[in-house]
Amino acid sequence: MPFRIQERFVNLLDTLGALAQLLAEAIQSLRHQRPSGRDLVQQLYQVGVKSQSVVLTTGAATGMVLTAQTYFQFHKVRLDTATGAVVSVGMASELGPVLAGLMLTARVGASMAAELGTMRVTEQIDALRTLATHPVDYLVVPRFLALTLAAPLLTAEAVTIGIAASYLVGVKLLGIEGAYYLAYINRYTAPSDILMGLIKSVLFGAAIALICCHRGLTCPQGAEGVGRATTEAVVAASITILVSNFFLTLLLTQLLN
């Protein structure tokens, strides 16, 4: 058992080192050459536009259920109008970026890992190297940029639709006074809450791209290897988002407040 724990710890350190190296190569590539505009636009369409329906649905559903549960508890102590403040702060700083990141991991991250893994298995990545094309420049950088740019925009959409859905449920369904509902949202939702969510979303997008691209580029041979790499990429990216969110909350709260 101690040997297995030691082996897993060593593998974790190797993975972290490989991710850091991949990030350094991506940054170096961005510094020395501009990525293809066509590839970047295509990735932005795949990552951003095609993910809108999933992210918006998740944001709206989360806003509605959070409103209902908060109202049921606050109604016991006659704090009905404070429901909107709790939902807006929670969506802007925590639930919006985390849920958008998880949805992007499930939809986009899995696709990236499977696509790059298939290219590795079919030796297309080796063919790129023979053509003097660095795989990081051609495959990783456009995906990294697309996810980093699209994640905060999708998060902003999820937060907006979540708060709008919260207002409809709170005012139209639960009977909370609309003016007080909006007043509490405006009073207790600080710019730092919104900024915190956007910063988190940028970091989550970068983490998803790095983890999923790395797993795709290093997947074992065979169809089973592609499937395993895709599963490992989704699990690793999801856990990274959930764990790092706690530490980012503590850090950003101290920096922004």
CA distance 197 to 155: 8
pTM attached to this predicted model: 0.91
Tell whether 207 is covered by a domain: yes
Tell whether 36 is covered by a domain: no
Structural domain total, the chain? 1
Tell whether 21 is covered by a domain: no
Q: Provide the H-helix boundaries in 136-190.
A: 141-167, 178-188
CA distance 82 to 79: 6
The pLDDT of residue 88: 94
C-alpha triplet 138, 139, 143: angle, nearest 5°: 115
How far is CA 202 from each of CA 48, 60, 154, 205, rounded to the nearest angstrom? 13, 21, 10, 5
Tell whether 234 is covered by a domain: yes
Tell whether 9 is covered by a domain: no
The pLDDT of residue 119: 86
CA distance 120 to 54: 29
Tokens describing residue 38 = 């066509």
Tell whether 115 is covered by a domain: yes
Cα of 144 vs its chain's centroid, Å = 12
Single-letter amino acid, residue 255: L
CA distance 32 to 19: 20
Single-letter amino acid, residue 77: V
pLDDT values of the chain reduced to their tens digit, one per residue, 257 residues: 565 667 777 777 888 888 888 888 888 888 877 777 788 889 899 898 899 999 999 999 999 999 999 999 988 888 888 899 999 999 999 999 999 999 999 999 999 999 988 888 888 887 877 777 778 888 889 999 999 999 999 999 999 999 999 999 999 998 888 888 899 999 999 999 999 999 999 999 999 999 999 998 888 777 788 888 899 999 999 999 999 999 999 999 999 87
The pLDDT of residue 64: 95
Expressed as residue numbers, the domain containing 157 is 50-256
Tell whether 18 is covered by a domain: no
Tell whether 11 is covered by a domain: no
What's the pLDDT tens digit per position in 25-55?
Answer: 888 888 877 777 788 889 899 898 899 999 9
